[in-house]
Amino acid sequence: MRSMKRFLPLLLTLAALLLPVMLTTHSCANTTQAPSGGDKDTIPPYIIDIKPLPGATGVSVEGTKLEFTFNEYVSIKSAANILLSPPQKKMPKSKLKGKTLYVSFEEPLKPNTTYALSFTDAIADVNEGNMFAGYTYVFSTGEKIDSMMITGTVVNSSSLAPVKGATVLLHKDHSDSAIFKSLPYAAAKTDDWGFFVMPFIQDTLYRLYAIKDENNDKLFDPESDMVAFIDSLIRPVMTASDTVREILRYDMKDTLACQERKSEYELSLFKETPSKQYVKDKVRTSERSAYISFLAPDAIIDTLSIEGYRASQIISQFNLKRDSLELWVNSRRNYPDTMKISLTYHKTDSLGQLRSTKENLKLPLPKDKRTFSKTSRKSITRADTTCALTLTADPKTVEQDGFTIEFRNPIIYEKFDSLQFYSISPRQTEEKLSFTVERDSLNLRVYTIRPVKELRSGYEYHLKLPYRAFRDINGYYSDSTEVKCSLPTDESLSTLTLELSGVDQKYIIDLMGEKRDKVLRSYVVDSDKSLVFPYLSKGKYSIRITSDENRNSLVDTGSVLEHRQSEKLLFLTFGDKKYLEIPEGSEVNQRVNLKELFRK
């Protein structure tokens, strides 16, 4: 009874606070139909009775049923968010009868164990769908309630944005395999702020993880789940009670209250590079092309052949991570209905070792990929028999990115010297310009055209591709096309200059929008320099800087088994602001010492 009394003040406080609401809403609490007329109900449901009382001890390990009675009729929006900690293999069984939610367990509970049952985004009222604010109910199958707790925040490693709905795992088993094979000692879900609390746990050493648990099994699956971890063992130092700020439930829109909660640990979620290697997917993309993807990067291919074609007729291209391979056949002979590929590559065997393995892949051609099917011959257009390409130039980035030609298929014939590149001055004087041609190192179908002379404001630039300048693997010639581009003259646009110093290694500098979900401009630097970002519209921008320690120009992920975190990145802060506010028609200069920045 002493244990139960610890939780009675909280219940009495809640009852006192909610009594006026109970009195004013009583008239509609007993109906499942929305009342006619009056203001819309915006008050979420709340609990008015619990059996057994919170903090109950000596709870039976078998046949236990918990009862939560609400002030109105509710529905279960997500049973997966009714979370028991420590978790069981089977989720708690929940059932509604009247206004009461019954929770039972399909497995026996552990003896002498403190359990926490939490409701987060799980329950809503029937009438208006107002979500129950959440609650953590505590009971024990032993004689006491464990009294320690830990708190923290889970963020996305690439945006540092809080992650809602991540599953946080606490393991007593310190072995590296525990997160893959064993249920945790305790588990919790993060809220809208990425915040979590694990209350009423034992005072001992733990390993702390977080996963984006796609199948809700509380185990880490590297193929589908994101993961985060704390490098060292942790031990709780905070004491749990019914009045601790971190345990109380808040309106997620109450920024001040939510930010006042103490977060002891920050975990950064990343998608781990898979340790196993095998062919993940294979697709026939057209009559003469295919696509093979591998589970892990850095695929090693010993031999590859396509039945009916010579090795010299096969064009292949890996992506930067070498986990996907594009294939084309440079031949005008009739294409097969099924492309048969013989592939010998390094595949992970049953012992976890890479072994040279031969696989025969069969890739049938889907009907929607047939250019000359019997039903479509009458509808064939000129475009169907033309070397397809796109010619683009973005006025805001043309100085950095140039003019881009991207072909749908690899080209086998080209006459770049036939291209016409010229400018027209503000006085309508035309001048022929010299240019360079650069094939993309990562995409053999992409070429960049750059003028030798610096582009000037007020001038109009034209790039013309004449008829039959290119021929692709299908034997089709290109049509004539043209693109024109001028540097922006809008005086409301601004320029940002980053003056970088302390560049003691390779860094990736990304300019992003306020939401941090898209890279607008990007540079890779390995020495002190000034980076110019011209033609920016008024608004808020984020600047992400990644420490590219292995100098591969990629943001590399981490590994749980290797105890390696993702490459360190951070976002520049500007005083007490997370974003750089660019005013209209201005020149903004920002000095950044990268060595000092990453030392903090």
What is the DSSP secondary-structure string of 420-454?
Answer: EEEEE-TT--EEE--EEEEE-SS-TTEEEEEESSP
What confidence tier does 68 reach under pLDDT thresholds 50, 70, 90?
very high
Q: Would you state the pLDDT for residue 176?
A: 92
If pLDDT is split at 50, 70 and 90, which confidence band does 1 have? Answer: very low
pLDDT for residue 198 is more than 60: yes
Is pLDDT above 80 for 170? yes
pLDDT given at position 145: 95
488 pLDDT higher than 80: yes
Q: Which structural domains are found in the chain, ordered by start?
A: 2-28+43-140 (2.60.40.1220), 148-269 (2.60.40.1120), 279-369 (2.60.40), 383-486 (2.60.40.1220), 494-599 (2.60.40.10)
Omega before residue 86 within 30° of 0, cis: yes
Confidence of residue 377 (pLDDT cuts 50, 70, 90): low
For residue 538, the 8-state DSSP code is S
**pTM of the predicted model as reported, rounded to 2 decimal places:** 0.76
Percentage of the chain exceeding pLDDT 70: 91
Judge contact between 152 and 168, C-beta under 8 A: yes
Phi, psi of 221 (to 5 degrees): -110, 105
Task: For residues 340-362, give the mean pLDDT.
Answer: 95
Report whether pLDDT(23) > 50.
no
**Per-residue pLDDT at 372:** 60
Whether residue 26 has pLDDT greater than 60:
no
DSSP H/E element including 315: strand 314-318
- Cα–Cα dist 295/354, whole Å: 13
pLDDT score of 376: 52
Q: Which helix (H) or strand (E) holds 9?
A: helix 8-29
**According to the model, what pLDDT value does residue 5 have?**
44
Confidence of residue 128 (pLDDT cuts 50, 70, 90): confident
pLDDT at 321 over 60: yes
Average pLDDT rounded to a whole number, residues 264-291: 93
**Distance between CA atoms of 228 and 235, rounded to whole angstroms?**
18
Cα 15 to Cα 11, 241, 246: the distances in Å are 6, 18, 20
**Average pLDDT of the residues in 431-450:** 96
Confidence of residue 379 (pLDDT cuts 50, 70, 90): low
Average pLDDT over residues 79-97: 92
Predicted confidence (pLDDT) per residue in 506-523, tens digit: 999 999 999 898 999 999
**Mean per-residue pLDDT over the chain, rounded:** 89
Mean pLDDT of all residues in 58-64: 95
User: Are the C-beta atoms of residues 98 and 68 closer than 8 Å to each other?
Assistant: no
The residues, any chain, with a CB within 8 Å of residue 188's CB and separated by 6 or more, are: 83, 85, 118, 167, 168, 196, 197, 198
Least confident of 8-22, 45-59, 549-563: 8-22
Is a pLDDT exceeding 50 seen at residue 526? Answer: yes
Residue 564 has pLDDT above 50, yes or no: yes
Q: Is the pLDDT of residue 318 over 80?
A: yes
pLDDT reading at 426 higher than 90? yes
Give residue 378's pLDDT band: very low, low, confident or very high (50, 70, 90).
low
Residue 36 class from Cβ within 10 Å (0-12 exposed, 13-18 middle, 19+ buried)? exposed
**Residue from 163, 222, 337, 272 nearest 556 by CA:** 272
The Cα 144–Cα 427 span in angstroms is 89
> CA-based angle 525:531:534, to the nearest 5?
140
Buried (b) or exposed (e) across 518-541, using 16+ Cβ within 10 A? eeebebebeeeeebebbbbeeeeb
Segment 39-51 mean pLDDT: 85
Q: How far is the C-alpha of 455 from the C-alpha of 474, rounded, in Å?
A: 36
Q: Is the Cβ–Cβ distance between 149 and 201 less than 8 Å?
A: yes
